[in-house]
Structure 1
Amino acid sequence: MPRSPKLKFDRGTLILHPPPKGKAWLDYATWDDRIEKFRIPAIHYRPLVEALQADDKKIVDEAREFYDLEFKAISNFEPYPHQAEALQAWKQSGRQGVVVLPTAAGKTYLAQLAMEATPRTTLIVVPTLDLMHQWYAQIEKAFPNIEVGLLGGGARDRTPILIATYNSAAIHAETLGNRYALQIFDECHHLPTDFFKVIAEYAIAPYRLGLTATPERSDGTHRHLDTLIGKIIYRKTPEELSGGTLADHKIVQMRVKLSDDEQAEYNSAIATRNKFLRDSNISLGSLQGWQLFIQASARSSQGRKAMLAHRQAKEISQGTDAKLRVLTDLITQHDTERILIFTNDNATVYRISQQFLIPAITYQTAVKERHNILTSFKAGEYKTLVASHVLNEGVDVPDARIAIILSGTGSTREYIQRLGRVLRKGNSTNKQAILYEVVTENTSEERTSERRHGEQESSKYRQLELVPPAKPKPKKKQQFKAAEKPTEWNKDE
């Protein structure tokens, strides 16, 4: 009597032996001469099993080690309409896909709903240690009857629900791949990189959920999310949720001018940079162009001079004294409110911190100090914080009503993340959040601002122009059918 084909998991791949009759599985398999057996990428587990089932082929499935759980959630919160809609869209997509929601829209609670609807062992992947501990606290509280563990920051648990950083999950992808039926990727735009994507590729997880505010990546690799997790199956913008789930908000763009001396210094630096770019036939209109500029700047003294000129121009436009005068006015105007100030560089963060006696948070801030600052901010002991990029993602920031962007990158993701920091309603029912964006005219900052939210959106923004005094001091420097319950993956007897 012929042996039944067996499917086994082997370090991020599947081995199917002896080969079953028929051709349904051949599209996924590659012959491995080393072991003289067929090997299949683990990510194809679900379509492979579906193809074999459709062809009425019986196999012994020894690949999976995931199993059912019995969740006893203690949360009785009624989901917001967009959360219920997103969950239903995910179910209808065979419990695979990406949900795009703005910061503060309740992505963590949506993940809890998905876990309740798919009671299986679950791996949750997050980008930072801060987020790992935040998810741990919320999931442990939501499901007290299930053991929750951590992978990252020195922890290496083996639990039914595991919360891991992208780095640690990638390192251990070969051993994690068959233990979890559901994978949840927080801030899933991090996944499509050569190092991180193995978390999904080496996993047999039949159910996958991606969460992000902005899935698009400048390198175009976000298209791989369709294969790694699933297509975008639900999407809402901050504007669509404003006044409902999120606070009403308005965006005020404030334009300032450089002083005559600053403008002359800026123009001279830009001219030096542009001459080198022309001579080197380099355009900065793309990511590749910027990379070429970096490479060229390291090969000659003229290149180094051009890069220094570029940085000088950037420092002038981002750190002009006119911006600090505007900042003074805004802090005075909103002196009773919690205010978050964002800049693009740490030097300006520390300058503002010293000049205004405001607590600062950068990547250099120790964990305990950052925790103490945020706790004091939440308690109202501090009314204002200034930070660079560290509060964009992965940090639980207390409710604030005012955000001020003094400088930033052209990243839409960064812009939405910073806006999201003031969109939580908190305990206020009629909260009106305001995002001030301070832009220096006649500099590259204008184009950077346009990239952040697009020229076509400009009509949505209230613009103010502020002119500096005449002589300011210059500054130097395959799919399941929709179902309420997931398909049972029973081993063939």
Structure 2
Amino acid sequence: MDTREGNNYSLLENFVLNASLEILGKRSHGEKFYHEFSIFRRETIYALYPFLEEQKINLLKKIAIESGLDSEKIDEVSRMFCTGSSLFSLELYVQLNELKKFYEFFDKLLQSDEKLANILGEPKILIDLWGHQKEALQLWFQNGGKGIVEMATATGKTIVGLAAIQVLYKNRKKLNVLVLAHSKAILRQWRKEAISKLGLIADPNDNYNTSIGYGNKLRIEFNTMQTVYKNPWGYETDYLIVDEVHHGAGKEFRNALNVPCKWKMGLSATIEGGERESVLDQYLGKTVYEFNLEKAREKGIIPEFKLYIHKDFLDVKESVDFYLITEKIVNLLNFINSTQKEEIKLISNGKFSSFENLSDFVHLMANSRSKSDQIPAEWNSLSTLLFRRRIIIHRSSPKIESAINLAKVVARNKKCVMFTMDIETCEKIYDSLSGYVNTYHVHSNLKEHQNNEELDKFKKCSNGVLIAPKMLDEGIDIPDAEIGINVSSSKTKLQLVQRMGRILRNKPGKKPVFHHFVALPQSFIDPEDSFNYLNDLVWIQDITLKMGITSEIYDADTIAPEDVKTIQELEKRSEEVVCRYHAKYDKITSNEFGTIRIKSIVDSIEQEAKVKLITLLDNWDGYISDEQWIQILKASYDDESMVSIPNHLWLLIIAERKPENIVNLLQKYDN
């Protein structure tokens, strides 16, 4: 019966209450039970009367925490009965007595309305922190309230930032907080999290730029880096939180980190690159805590999941376009090398007078923005050709059609999140899926309220697919999606981690699945394309080893034999190119993933495991496949479920998959 039915509900509640009291009274202490419960019931109704429904729950949670109880107990009771009702009071009374916490809880409830309002208004984390969150918070405070916390997506880094608010406020009784992020959607999520997790009184549906707080004692504001960097000194605060802090390393937004403050915390899934690290260290302090995916799995924070790889060739037209653009790129690079040696020497500050490969060219262009007036027209033309070729891969029709067909099947019964490279692809997939399954999409060309509505609809539905380009990579909470479908190539491991993070939520009975789609061209520019294609496979194997999962080709039995042969030849040729390049330069370099050195890989293998690995390889006969390599590495670590050896597949590739060559490399680069 609906609680809004007035007298009818009251009559029913009183009937059930009296029947329950009759049963419980016989099991308890007779008159003492009736008398004590009657007082508790009356005082609970009086105490909660001035507050709204959500405020009642938050107040009781805060009192429960102060009494040494898990706030989840309040949620359990509120799910059964209307908060503040007689049956609610009865169930709460019984549970408090069973936990021997009744008198402590009741004493805190028996306070004036003003004191109860103070308890409700003050920030208090309403959930129990995980061990790694407590450790991160402790190390940040030990570092003087400065520094960066790196935690894998879905492991609760937002809570660490909010928990610091509770501690700082408790010590000072007055606090101003500024949360910075590069996206309005992320700030909206932060605002909602601050209200729900700190139990603050505010409308969670207000816009991100509506501050929240408690009187003149606490004020939490939210703003974008794009706004603050213009005049950071105008946003002075006590405590600065910078989410997805790697965005702050960019020269255009770096100034936003100059906000005057006493305490500052940077948060990120991971930070890649030495320059980024040094820049962020300078502005926010060193990294004080790291909690990666491997640790999250070990502690049960992130569930196990399946990783499927889908490989699709370009269609005929795409293959022709890709081939023609590839020829133009090769010819134009040769022309630049033969006719513009002086220009290359000038712009590279004398480092070289010709481009060894495309990586040299792309890297120099990226670092020469300040010399744009000196860049020859042919260089800009070459950059345009490279972009056009990359777009063919990202928007490959067979890859997208395969992903659409998959979504039509799996989104009938489960919730999926699909990641695209750009808005055009997002809209194309949205139109194709609409009418087959519940379909939602978000992107920067939609108005903010439209994106919010789409996200809210998806969160409330029981099945369907949410499609989004890059804006969904970071910070948006999709707590019950089970399937991720990635049709956009991730340029960095960070993007992959963030995309998986949208589906990896540790909930009972949930078994996430991640599908990664790869488009395969058949005309390569060596060595650049070989490097980038193989690197796609390398990070898949990195995740496989780190997270103790298996990756497999989706529906491998249905792939045509001629396609299987073509893929094998493509991968073999790419590996041969890599081996020749490494033999010449003793490293692998690409603009897509930086520089890989075998010594760094060898150094990341523990010494004891290295000895076992050499023994295993000495007894191995024949070439080593990817799957066999994973098993050998695990065996060298005594069959640990998760092993972290970054870029380990490059070691196998450069050794030509020969066990004796791997041993030689291990011994050559061993400290």
Q: TM-score scaled by structure 2? A: 0.52
**Are the aligned partners of 1:123 and 1:163 in contact in 2 as well (CA < 8 Å)?**
yes
Distance in 2 (alpha carbons) for counterparts of 1:134 and 1:458? 28
In structure 2, the residue matched to 1:257 is 313
Letter matched to residue 394 of structure 2 = Q
Match of 1:354 in 2: 431
* 1:410 match: 491
2:173 aligned with 1:98: no
Distance 1:259 1:437 in 2: 19
222-231 or 254-263: bigger deviation: 254-263
CA–CA distance in 2 between the matches of 1:310 and 1:329? 30
Cα 1:353/1:333, change in 2 over 3 Å: closer
Q: CA deviation at 1:211?
A: 0.7
The structure-2 alpha-carbon separation of the partners of 1:246 and 1:449, relative to structure 1 and needing over 3 Å to count, comes to farther
- CA 1:304 to 1:382, structure 2 compared with 1: closer, same or farther past 3 Å? farther
Q: AA paired with 1:224?
A: V
Q: Please give the alpha-carbon distance, in whole angstroms, between the structure 1 residues aligned to 2:530 and 2:483.
A: 21
Q: 446, 459, 463: which is aligned to 2:553?
A: 463
Describe the SS at the equivalent of 1:248. coil
Equivalent position amino acid for 1:220 in 2: E
Match in the other structure for 1:432 = 511
The equivalent residue for 1:364 is 445
In the alignment, is residue 197 of structure 1 matched against residue 273 of structure 2?
no
The aligned counterpart of 1:59 is: none
> Among residues 536, 539, 546, which one is paired with 1:454 in the alignment?
539
SS state at 1:252 partner: strand
Amino acid at match of 2:366: Q
| Matched-pair contact (CA < 8 Å) for 2:247–2:253 | yes
Unaligned runs of 5+ in 1: 1-68, 472-493
Match of 1:401 in 2: 482
Tell me, in whole angstroms, the C-alpha distance in 2 between the residues paired with 1:156 and 1:168: 19
Cα offset for 1:361?
2.4
Once the two structures are superposed, what CA deviation does each residue of 1:68-88 show, in whole Å capped at 9, x if it has no partner? x99833444111122122122
Which amino acid in structure 2 is aligned with residue 429 of structure 1? Answer: P
Match of 1:423 among 483, 489, 504: 504
The answer on whether the counterparts of 2:125 and 2:199 sit within 8 Å (CA) in structure 1 is no
Give the match's secondary structure for 1:429.
Answer: coil
Amino acid at match of 2:327: A
Seen in structure 2, the aligned counterparts of structure 1 residues 259 and 195 have a Cα distance that, compared at 3 Å, is closer
Match of 2:335 among 268, 276, 279: 279
Q: 1:250 to 1:446 in 2, by over 3 A?
A: farther
Partner of 1:386: 467
Distance 1:94 1:447 in 2: 42
**Structure with the bigger percentage of helix:** 2
1:144 Cα shift? 5.8
Q: Which of 318, 333, 338 is matched with 2:415 structurally?
A: 338
**CA shift for structure 1 position 272:** 0.9
AA aligned opposite 1:288: H
Counterpart CA distance in 2 for 1:143 and 1:331 is 37
Partner of 1:58: none
Q: Which amino acid aligns with 1:349?
A: C
Distance 1:278 1:415, change over 3 A: farther
Distance 1:467 1:379 in 2: 37
Does 2:225 match 1:166?
Answer: yes
* 2:281 match: 226
Which whole-Å CA distance do the structure 1 matches of 2:208 and 2:453 have between them?
23
Task: Give the aligned partner of residue 377 of structure 1.
Answer: 458
Find the aligned partners of 2:207 and 2:228 in 1 and give their Cα distance.
Answer: 7
Give, as a single letter, the amino acid of the residue that structure 2 aligns with 1:73: P
Structure-1 separation of matches of 2:433 and 2:151: 35
Q: Aligned residue for 1:188?
A: 245
**TM-score with structure 1 setting the length:** 0.69
CA displacement at 1:439 relative to structure 2? 0.7
CA contact 1:297–1:307 (8 Å) conserved in 2: no
Q: Distance in 2 between matches of 1:314 and 1:99?
A: 34
Question: How far off is 1:305 after superposition?
Answer: 5.8
Superposed CA deviations along residues 283-317 of structure 1, whole A, max 9, x for unmatched, are: 442653453899699854x6676455434433432
Q: What amino acid sits opposite 1:291 in the alignment?
A: A
Q: Match for 1:226: what amino acid? A: D
Aligned-pair CA distance for 1:345: 2.3
Cα distance change, pair 290–449 in 1 and its aligned pair in 2 (3 A):
farther
Aligned partners of 2:416 and 2:465 also within 8 Å: yes
Residues 1:332 and 1:152: Cα distance change in structure 2 (over 3 Å): closer
SS of equivalent to 1:171 = coil
Q: Residue 412 of structure 1 contacts residue 451 of structure 1 at CA under 8 Å; is this kept in 2?
A: no
**Higher RCO, Cα 8 Å, sep 6+:** 1
Residues 134 and 445 of structure 1, relative CA distance in 2, 3 Å threshold: farther
Query: Judging changes above 3 Å, is the alpha-carbon distance between structure 1 residues 384 and 293 closer, same or farther for their aligned structure 2 residues?
Result: farther
Contact kept, 8 Å, 2:124 with 2:166, in 1: the verdict is no
1:401 is matched by which residue type in structure 2? E
Q: Tell me, what secondary structure is at the counterpart of 2:266? A: strand
Structure 2 CA distance, aligned partners of 1:213 and 1:154? 27
Aligned letter for 1:354? D
AA aligned opposite 1:430? G
Instruction: Identify the residue that residue 168 of structure 2 maps to in structure 1.
Output: 118
| Structure 1 CA distance for aligned equivalents of residues 198 and 247 of structure 2 | 27
**Paired position in structure 2 for 1:288:** 363
| Aligned residues: CA RMSD | 3.9
Q: Helix, strand or coil: the match of 1:340?
A: strand
| Cα distance in 2 between the residues matched to 1:411 and 1:174 | 33
Amino acid at match of 1:192: A
Secondary structure, counterpart of 1:457 in structure 2: helix
